[in-house]
Structure 1
């Protein structure tokens, strides 16, 4: 199926809660959808997100896409684009002016899967249609009552594994949040923590030991130290006892390869770039390192998680995006279930296109509130 046209729709709205970690916070959603249109009318959907700052106007987004991306897509078969290997050199090694890269991979693979009438997870080689999820709060800036409500909701949905944000300047606050988590989800739950590079290697060991003394066994610690400190990550693997080191979130494909070669990960964290995730997932399998699927927009990474070997976990972080698509992926018994429809399974809602479409930048005071998640009432 050849790609004959494209459409970009810009969205902007308030989040239903502040999200963030020990380093950053975000209150609003800055988003655009990229739809690649095939010659027979099928549509491949991808998501462009700017976490902290508004995207440019819709007209400017379309202009940049037409100038920087479209010449390499027009009248090309979606399957050929999906499998094409690029070797940029010199000044061609650069990011696009707008972060279209992930959306482009999503949309191309969605259209390719539709062209052959297969769910994406099957096209990628998957033989299962669900992956165990862990509930992730992005909760560093939440007050205690909202923190409790979020994880109580997660427990009620059948989740048995939970990840919280740590890395506060006062370790007692991190331990307090672990105490609250146990209150919300009960004993016996699997507990992960994410420090977002807040610590040094020695701090990490000391903090994990303090958490153990307080009665908290940590299944994995995610990104405890600087992303390129491969020696430090390797040291932590040797000294953290039964706690596993989950790293690689902030690294590109090349950096993840270096991390694997350095022995700096018990678990490799990947996200929503379809082609890149599959390539690095295959490499991780060669090293015998399991992959975990971190945050991907509306859990689109489920397709890759279901296809790669040894992916036992996918992150679910309660971001209020469900209203943007016709049918989000189902959550049952703490697992996230893939769609059996051709493509990656997400279709842009025409109601969302009507109600949340903002072609121009909107001042913060003029943003509308998106539907609220159930845990916030």
Structure 2
């Protein structure tokens, strides 16, 4: 299937709640859909997301894509583009002017899978249809009431594992949130915490001990210290007892490889870049390192999670994007299933093009109400 055209559709809307962690917060959405068009008219879909800064006008995005990306993509076979490896030499490896990289990988693989009539997860080699998911609140800035309500809904929907944001300057506040979580989900759940690099190695050891003494055993601690502190992460692996160290989120593929080679993590955290995730996931399997699939747009990462042998967990964080696509992935009893349709399973909804399209930047106070989150119901 040759790639013959492209489309970009820009969206901007309010979130239904503030999301964030010990370092950042966001309460609006800046995202665009990238569609690569095949010679038979089928499309491959990817999502361009900017968490903290507005995307430019759609016309500017089209211009940047046409000048920076399209000359190397036009007329190419989708399968060839999906598998191509570039040599990292000097200035030929650099960031694009806009964050197209992840969307490109998603769209190319989607179109490739459609061209051979296979669901992407099967094309990538999966033998299973579902993977366990954990509920993640992105909850650092929520009130206690909203925090408890969010995780109570997650528990009522069948989740049995939950991750909360920690790293507050007052450790008692982190312990208070763990107390609230236990009240909302019960005391048999698996609990993970994510500090987003807020602590030093010694702080992490002391804080995990304080959590245990307060009655909160932690299944894994995610990104507790600076991403390149491999020595500190190794020390944590040796001293954290049964708590696993989950790291690598902020590292590129080369950094993730170095992290594993340094023996500095119990689990490797990956996200939504299809090609990069598969390459580093195969290496993790070769090294016997478990992999967790962190947040990916609309859980598109389920395709890689199902295909990689070392993935036992996928993150689901109730981000309110369901209205952008025709059908989301099936979620039930704490598991997520791959789609049986050819491609990665997500199709841009006509209602999204009609009702949520924002071709130019809109002032935040003019965005109006956030879309209603369909999954945030008991």
Structure 2 residue aligned with 1:190: 190
The 8 Å contact of residues 149 and 376 in structure 1, kept in 2 or not, is answered as no
The 8 Å contact of residues 3 and 38 in structure 1, kept in 2 or not, is answered as yes
Query: In the TM superposition, what is the alpha-carbon distance from 1:106 to its structure 2 partner?
Result: 0.0
Query: In the TM superposition, what is the alpha-carbon distance from 1:372 to its structure 2 partner?
Result: 2.3
Structure 2 residue aligned with 1:304: 304
The 8 Å contact of residues 149 and 375 in structure 1, kept in 2 or not, is answered as no
Structure 2 residue aligned with 1:181: 181
SS of the equivalent of 1:29 reads strand
Unaligned stretches of 5+ in structure 2? none
The 8 Å contact of residues 34 and 104 in structure 1, kept in 2 or not, is answered as yes
Deviations 1:302-334 (A, max 9, x none): 000000012100000000000100000011111
TM-score normalised by L of structure 1: 0.99
Structure 1 residue aligned with 2:284: 284
SS of the equivalent of 1:298 reads helix
Alignment of 1:1-377 (within 5 A): 1-373=1-373, 375=376
Cα gap change, 1:131 to 1:103, in 2 (>3 Å)? same
Q: Which runs of 4 or more aligned residues in structure 1 lie more than 3 Å from their structure 2 counterparts after TM superposition?
A: 374-377
Deviations 1:20-71 (A, max 9, x none): 0000000100000000000001100000000001001000000000000001
TM-score normalised by L of structure 2: 0.99
Deviations 1:209-233 (A, max 9, x none): 0000000000000000000000100
Deviations 1:108-150 (A, max 9, x none): 0000000000000000000111110000000000001100110
The 8 Å contact of residues 9 and 58 in structure 1, kept in 2 or not, is answered as yes
The 8 Å contact of residues 13 and 29 in structure 2, kept in 1 or not, is answered as yes
The 8 Å contact of residues 284 and 310 in structure 2, kept in 1 or not, is answered as no
Output the CA distance in 2 between the equivalents of 1:19 and 1:323.
Answer: 18
Structure 1 vs Structure 2 CA RMSD: 0.9
Query: In the TM superposition, what is the alpha-carbon distance from 1:174 to its structure 2 partner?
Result: 0.1
SS of the equivalent of 1:31 reads strand
Unaligned stretches of 5+ in structure 1? none
Output the CA distance in 1 between the equivalents of 2:42 and 2:125.
Answer: 22
Query: In the TM superposition, what is the alpha-carbon distance from 1:375 to its structure 2 partner?
Result: 3.6
Query: In the TM superposition, what is the alpha-carbon distance from 1:371 to its structure 2 partner?
Result: 2.0
The 8 Å contact of residues 134 and 162 in structure 1, kept in 2 or not, is answered as yes
